[in-house]
Amino acid sequence: MNLIELERSLRQLRLGGMATVLETRLRQAQSEAMAPIDLIASLVTDELTRRSDRLLERRRKQAAFRDPQKSLDNFDFNFNPKMNRSLVFDLATSTFIGKREDALFLGPGGTGKSHLAQAIGQAAIQQGYRVIYRETHVLLDDLAEAVAEGTRKEFMESLTAVPLLIIDDFGMRKLPLTAAEDLLEIIMRRYERASTLLTSNRPVEDWGKLLGDVAAVTALLDRILHHGHVLKCGPRSWRTKTAISGGATE
């Protein structure tokens, strides 16, 4: 079997990571007088690395982050120094996901809630968890579409099963009349089964008026906060600062 045939066979066996680097590794083995077991170990490591990278990339695509570049590394904690950064880093360890706990990020617009939520989601994927990210209105639109297509049951089951569901920007847009019932059902299905991270620019006291159903909101908050971590963001807004700075330079 020559090199081309061996590469083809490796790909047929779904060992594309090995096939891609096979020629390079063989040259390395010849130049370094590499022992056969070391050559095999290198090829196996290449395959495992490729599979791990592809899995991470697939899970990032499945999460559908709005801003996939957001991370803790590019978040400026000094802008709002009173923020509980210890809690942020605790959440980034994903321990709360293993415990099936929830999190609620509150604060005015532009204070970093979405950035931190997505950064924590990215960290969860790195640690082997599946994540779904949706802005609140998009999540409810997806649910409405599933109802129209007759796939509501399957859609709700997929939401229930994912270890971390991030529901972002609650309160930013007007929501449908069924929003209170739909959100409560999602939270109830996930309660003590999986972790939900919810961000909102509205204080919880306004949620009843926002959704038009005080009873549903009370039940929703009761479950979110029972095993929940609350992060208060702000008060300073990055977007306001940027707008003011931009105006000053014009």
Per residue in 79-88, pLDDT (tens digit) is 888 899 999 9
Model confidence, pTM? 0.81
Residue linked to tokens 């290198």: 42
Which residue would you say has higher pLDDT here, 223 or 239? 223
Q: Can you tell me the distance from the alpha carbon of 80 to that of 169, in angstroms, rounded to the nearest whole number?
A: 19
3-state SS of 159-195 is: HHHCCEEEEEEECCCCCCCCHHHHHHHHHHHHCCCCE
Segment 104-154, tens digit of pLDDT? 999 988 889 999 999 999 999 999 999 999 999 999 999 999 999 999 999
